[in-house]
Amino acid sequence: MNNLYSKKCLLFGLFAFLILTNCEDQNVQQNTPPNVQSQINDNKQLIEKTGPIPGEYIVVFKEYQERDAREKAVNNLLAQTALEAVNQTLLKYNVKEQDVLSRYGHALRGFVARLSEEQVKELQEDSDIAFVEQNRVFNGLAGFAIPKESKNRSKSMMSQTTPWGVSRVDGHLIDGTGHKAWVIDTGIDLDHSDLNVDVSNSAAFTESTPNDLNGHGTHVAGIIAAKDNSIDVVGVASGATVVAIKSLNKDGLGTIQSVLDGINYVANNASISDVINMSLGVENGSSSIDIAVTNAANSGLDFVVAAGNDEANANNYSPARVNHYNVHTVSAFRQGDEFAQTFDITTPNCNPLNFPDVGSNYGSSTVDYSAPGESILSLWKNNGTLTTCGTSMAAPHIAGILLVNSSTFALDGTVSNDPDGTSDDIMVAKLEPPVLSHSVYNQSPKLTWNSTYGATSYKIYRRFENGSWSLIATTTSNTYIGSLVNPNLQAVTSPPFNYQDTYSYRVLAKNGSGDESRYSDTKYFTVSGCSGPGCGS
């Protein structure tokens, strides 16, 4: 880093990822337009502000009990116990209150404080302390240059556009109404006419307001949840509620502490049905961020994380490298399902610094899915829209799908030319399956289900005992009553042993284009005095 500007420049990553790009300084001066060269100079000034913060440290305690996704009360008790341990430790090592910057009990057990070298050494030797990590500033957006008067940025569009990425992941099949996504980023435009923002739960851990002064967080939120309302764009989970968690400031600067503050806040306030999007990360990793995300994921929260844009292995970035079933790391592909190993510099605002060697990170052991990440149109600050690219744009496509299809999504092929040799899966949305209920009505089986978004009909399937499933009816109704009549008919929650004298039912939804949902849960009826399928349907 000492030779940062002698012959080569280090530029940190597009869209909340630290990117390292080597470029000959002389060539940059000769080939770069004046307005872009001005942005490079601004980036150099921002980079100079990054690095370790003298005297500030994150102290992380050892974990003695894992968070439980089913027990909110248990997790709250763990948090309370953790905070008590934090306070006792602060007293033990004589850390003054004015030097305590943050206390954590939900996402991790620990604190951030200004500490002397002697205090750091003593804490590192404490058997209850897992590790001590120095706080530092990272610049997530130094390479992301949007000219102040960009021709590609527009105010609210007169008519609605469906971006190609939303179409590719079949966002039209799902509705985000009633779902909530938490966006840990640069904030969100709280007044954007194409978003439902939960302002009351939004929070800022840098600057004074969660309102987006950069634009990146608003772009991410729009991909997830822009309304289907005839203006601007439509998101994957259109109409979902988004919560702004500002951990990066207007210049894209953040600290390990500001990210931990955001994760800890979400871990305390989000519901298990929510999804958290993190289109940001730290190159060379942060153990405290990794642990915070892991603990929050253990409590049942789903995280979607951008892989990064350095054409490098995502295993070198936090939290992209976190390996957990509730943490989904996402690479980017372009139209045609080709891995975006190098982003197309002709795309507006995609690579405004004209460095062609910027593309999606990869990693067969870290990346879970790939999603659209080039030429992505979405919302922007000041009630605007903008087209750009990056894995920051890929991740929210997956977040939108998981918000509605947490367990019912589909896979639709893989990307081509994945540099790690293992082609990433492409996740797409599906019609939500009906939620099925069953009861006995006039001694006959009765099925009822909710209306599935976009469905025009429902198909009812039945099987007797352990036989084959058969389609027995198609209806536009939300109710089905079978013709079987038996005074001893019972609706049961689980089949009897060996399924003897048992009828099983399930339902799927279908739309006008022929798309079908997965099957609903199976419901069971037991009968007596009936010898087989001829008894009725």
Could you report the per-residue pLDDT of 392-401, keeping only the tens digit for each? 999 999 999 9
The residue from 364, 397, 428 where one domain ends is: 428
Residues 226, 317 within the same domain:
yes
Domain boundary among 366, 400, 428: 428
Q: Residues 464, 391: one domain?
A: no
Task: Please check whether residue 203 is in contact with residue 102, taking contact to mean a CB–CB distance below 8 angstroms.
Answer: no
Q: Is the peptide bond between 163 and the residue preceding it cis, with omega within 30 degrees of 0?
A: no
Q: Let me know whether 218 and 291 are in one domain.
A: yes
Residue 438 bears catalytic tag: no
Interval 344-367: pLDDT, tens: 766 666 654 444 557 899 999 999
Q: Identify whether residues 496 and 404 lie together within a single domain.
A: no
Q: What is the pLDDT of residue 150?
A: 46
Q: Are residues 412 and 332 in the same domain?
A: yes
Let me know if residue 10 belongs to a domain: no
Query: pLDDT for 439-479, tens place per residue?
Result: 999 999 999 999 999 999 999 999 999 999 999 999 999 99
Whether residue 104 is contained in a domain is answered as no
Burial of 225-258, coded b for 16+ CB within 10 Å and e otherwise, reads bbbbeebbbbbbbbbbbbbbbbbbbbbbbbbbbb
If one counts the domains in the chain, the total is 2
| Separation of CA 60 from chain center | 25
For residue 79, the model assigns a pLDDT of: 86
Q: Is 140 part of any domain?
A: no
pLDDT value of position 532? 55
Give the Cα separation of 246 and 259 in Å (integer): 9
Structural domain ending residue among the three candidates 386, 403, 428: 428
- In this structure, the answer to whether residues 514 and 396 fall within a common structural domain is no
Residue in 179, 216, 219, 328 annotated catalytic: 216
Tell me, yes or no, whether 165 and 291 share the same domain: yes
Mean pLDDT of all residues belonging to the chain: 86
Which residue in the list 185, 228, 337, 424 is annotated as catalytic? 185
Same domain, 489 and 414: no
SS3 state at 82: helix
Could you tell me if residue 312 is inside a domain? yes
CATH code, domain with 488: 2.60.40.10
Q: What is the mean pLDDT of residues 277-283?
A: 93
Q: What is the pTM of this model?
A: 0.86
Q: Does 397 participate in catalysis according to the annotation?
A: no
Q: What is the CATH number of the domain that holds 333?
A: 3.40.50.200
337 and 222 within one domain? yes
417 and 385 fall within a common domain? yes
Q: Per the residue annotation, which of 150, 288, 392, 517 is the catalytic one?
A: 392
pLDDT at residue 137 greater than cutoff 90: yes
Domain assignment of residue 396, yes or no: yes
Let me know if residue 486 belongs to a domain: yes
Annotated catalytic, 392? yes
Q: Are 307 and 345 in contact (CB under 8 A)?
A: no
Inter-residue contact 43 to 82 (CB < 8 Å): no
Does residue 457 sit within a domain? yes
Tokens of 108: 């991790």
Does residue 172 form part of some domain? yes
507 and 419 belong to one structural domain: no
Residue 272 domain boundaries: 156-428
Whether residue 230 is found in the same domain as residue 339: yes
